[in-house]
């Protein structure tokens, strides 16, 4: 081979190696993030935002460039939001007498349709991912252009969301109870959100009152009710899906519509988005065929996935983090955009594809193992974990806030209204300013 040709070949190989090296490192970190997100998603009570912020705190010690570290955080956060449906289905499964008041996923598990619920969740997430990824690009730019207008009208928009949630309740008693629960949660937010965590175990940059508040409002009540009223998890039938492809797609698309609210508006959760997207039917008593429960699982999963995608668009284009994962990304690479929106979305698609496969793969095994474990012992262990995480993220004041929030979180089902009104803990302070 002539020297000039050899030199050109060497230069090409060196260039390819230089290009492939960073890409390979980023891919390996992203796959590591998938593994971490899989483990964390299967741990009951561990919130995705708390896990993402913990990763951000550990980011400086990770042996890799900022791009690779950000890929790991993104992948872990996205996969966590796919897999946390699994312990959510297992915890708080009621006995037959209390089934009508339970969550839709729990009702499906009690009916022996837990494996179907896992597949419905995966289908909803995949469908939402396919729609949300291309939609996020023009939508993020549109939101960026109207960001000043959005900030001006944000309190009005959030107040409208609250009104729609209340009006979606089926009875006058439920609507009145919903207003009361919203106001109580908002008062809790006013009192606690600005408190300084005391003697938190995690680094100062990660310490937050949100972890104990959300654990108390939405985690502890379900587990507390499960301690005494939980029944055994029945044998689960095959994973055959009971919704038509069209119904799955419609529910997933409604979740995407709700995900727009969550991705760009502060204080709105995926549960809120799913209830609104389903025209107020989310979480209601099921009809005879259970199609409302199935649609709710699809819509909620779709809203979760769409939220993750639109939140990335909000960070990359608008410059505003709207989720714990995007806050973690901004913390891991301050003042830097190592990917841009295209890179963010590529990692989200990779992680989302892995999550969709892992949900039924790991979920079926999780359900089988859970049937052999004492439900009471499992519930008490999760309560201890929630208490410990509250102390870790906010110290003694976090434990106190967790206890008060848990009492508030017990109220909605006892007054016949939905727990989504408890998002007032964030929405209330934002609306008032």
Question: Could you report the per-residue pLDDT of 48-80, keeping only the tens digit for each?
Answer: 666 666 666 666 667 777 788 888 888 888 898
Tell me what pLDDT residue 290 has.
Answer: 54
Write down the pLDDT at residue 184: 96
- How many degrees, rounded to 5, is the angle at CA 194 between CA 191 and CA 199? 105
Domain annotation covers residue 3:
no
Take residue 263 and report the two structure tokens written for it: 């991705």
Ranked by mean pLDDT, which of 14-23, 338-347, 415-424 comes out on top?
A: 415-424
pLDDT at 48: 64
Judge whether 296 lies within some domain. Answer: yes
Interacting residues of 190 by C-beta distance below 8 A, sequence separation 6+: 428, 429, 432
List beta partners, residue 230. Answer: 94
Considering the domain boundaries, does residue 15 fall inside one?
A: no
Instruction: Say yes or no to pLDDT of 3 above 60.
Output: no
pLDDT band for position 408 (cuts 50, 70, 90) = very high
| Percent over 90 (pLDDT), the chain | 15
Measured CA distances, 195 to 132, 151, 214, 235, 262 (Å): 36, 25, 15, 46, 25
* Nearest alpha carbon to residue 135 among 291, 287, 317: 317
What DSSP letter does each residue of 87-154 carry, written as one string?
A: HHHHTT-B-GGGGGGS-HHHHHHHTT-HHHHHHHHHHHHHHHHHHHHHHHHHHHHHHHHTHHHHHHHH
Q: What is the pLDDT of residues 84-112, one digit of tens each?
A: 888 878 776 655 444 444 677 878 888 88
**Domain hosting residue 298, numbered range:** 49-432
| pLDDT at site 411 | 94
Give how many domains the chain has, as a whole number.
Answer: 1
Instruction: Determine the pLDDT at residue 28.
Output: 87
Residue 6 lies in a domain: no
What's the mean pLDDT in 385-412?
Answer: 91
User: Tens digits of per-residue pLDDT, 337-358?
Assistant: 556 778 888 888 999 999 999 9
Q: What is the pLDDT of residue 392?
A: 85
Other C-beta atoms within 10 Å of 368: how many? 14
**402 occurs within a structural domain:** yes
Mean pLDDT of 149-161: 85
Backbone angles phi, psi at 94, to 5 degrees: -85, 175
Maximum average pLDDT range among 189-203, 261-275, 285-299, 317-331: 189-203
pLDDT range class, residue 10, cuts 50, 70, 90: very low
- Specify the pLDDT at position 284: 46
If you average pLDDT over each of 30-34, 311-315, 377-381, which comes out highest? 30-34
Mean pLDDT of 22-49: 81
Bridge partners of 198?
395
114-145 helix and 147-167 helix, angle to the nearest 10 degrees:
140
Confidence of residue 175 (pLDDT cuts 50, 70, 90): very high
Three-state secondary structure call for residue 237: coil
Range of weakest confidence among 16-30, 304-318, 390-404: 16-30
Return the DSSP state at 230. Answer: B
Q: Are the C-beta atoms of residues 248 and 298 closer than 8 Å to each other?
A: yes
Cα–chain center distance at 315: 17
CA 76, 81, 85, 87 dihedral sign is: positive
pLDDT of residue 98: 44
The reply to whether 144 falls in a domain is yes
When mean pLDDT is compared across 96-100, 179-183, 279-283, 412-416, the lowest value belongs to 96-100
47 pLDDT above the threshold of 80: no
421 lies in some domain: yes
- pLDDT (0 to 100) of residue 374: 75
More confident residue, 147 or 179: 179
Region of residue 92 (left: phi > 0; alpha: psi -120 to 50; beta: else): left
Mean pLDDT taken over the chain: 79
How high is the pLDDT of residue 410? Answer: 92
Q: Which two tokens stand for residue 191?
A: 């009192």
> Residue 190 has what pLDDT?
94
Residue 11 pLDDT exceeds 50: no
For tokens 């960073």, the residue is: 22
Residue 318: what pLDDT?
A: 75
**More reliable by pLDDT, 346 or 198:** 346
Neighbours of 46 (CB within 10 A): 22
- Please check whether residue 230 lies inside any domain of the structure: yes
Q: Residue 333 — pLDDT band, cuts 50, 70, 90?
A: low
Q: 222 with 406: CB under 8 angstroms?
A: no
Closest-CA residue to 90 (of 285, 290, 365, 291) = 365
């Amino acid at each position: 081979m002539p020297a000039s040709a050899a030199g050109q070949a060497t230069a090409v190989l060196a260039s390819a190696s230089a290009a492939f090296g960073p890409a390979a490192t980023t891919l390996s970190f992203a796959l590591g993030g998938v593994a971490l997100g899989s483990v964390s998603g299967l741990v009951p009570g561990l919130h995705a935002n708390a896990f993402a912020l913990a990763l951000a705190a550990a980011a400086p010690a990770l042996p890799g460039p900022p791009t690779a570290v950000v890929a790991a955080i993104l992948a872990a956060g996205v996969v966590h939001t796919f897999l946390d449906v699994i312990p959510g289905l297992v915890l708080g499964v009621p006995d037959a007498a209390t089934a009508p008041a339970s969550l839709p996923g729990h009702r499906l598990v009690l009916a022996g349709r837990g494996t179907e619920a896992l597949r419905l969740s995966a289908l909803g997430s995949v469908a939402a991912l396919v729609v949300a990824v291309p939609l996020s690009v023009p939508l993020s730019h549109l939101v960026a252009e109207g960001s000043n207008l959005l900030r001006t009208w944000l309190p009005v928009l959030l107040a409208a969301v609250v009104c729609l949630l209340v009006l979606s309740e089926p009875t006058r008693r439920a609507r009145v109870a919903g207003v009361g629960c919203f106001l109580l949660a908002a008062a809790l937010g006013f009192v606690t959100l600005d408190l300084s965590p005391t003697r938190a175990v995690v680094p100062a940059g990660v310490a937050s009152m949100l972890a104990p508040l959300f654990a108390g409002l939405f985690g502890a009540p379900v587990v507390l009710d499960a301690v005494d009223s939980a029944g055994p998890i029945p044998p689960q039938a095959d994973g055959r899906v009971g919704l038509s492809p069209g119904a799955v797609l419609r529910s997933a698309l409604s979740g995407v519509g709700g995900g727009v609210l969550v991705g760009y508006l502060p204080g709105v959760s995926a549960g809120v988005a799913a209830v609104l997207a389903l025209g107020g039917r989310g979480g209601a008593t099921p009809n005879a065929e259970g199609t409302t429960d199935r649609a709710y699982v699809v819509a909620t999963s779709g809203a979760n996935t769409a939220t993750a995608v639109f939140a990335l668009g909000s960070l990359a284009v608008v410059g505003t983090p709207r989720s714990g994962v995007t806050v973690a990304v901004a913390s891991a690479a301050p003042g830097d955009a190592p990917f841009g929106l295209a890179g963010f979305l590529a990692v989200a698609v990779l992680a989302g594809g892995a999550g969709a496969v892992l949900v039924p793969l790991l979920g079926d095994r999780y359900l089988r193992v859970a049937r052999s474990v004492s439900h009471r012992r499992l519930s008490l262990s999760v309560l201890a974990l929630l208490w410990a995480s509250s102390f870790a993220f906010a110290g003694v004041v976090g434990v106190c806030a967790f206890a008060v929030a848990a009492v508030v979180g017990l109220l909605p089902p006892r007054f016949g209204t939905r727990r989504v009104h408890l998002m007032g803990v964030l929405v209330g302070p934002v609306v008032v300013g």
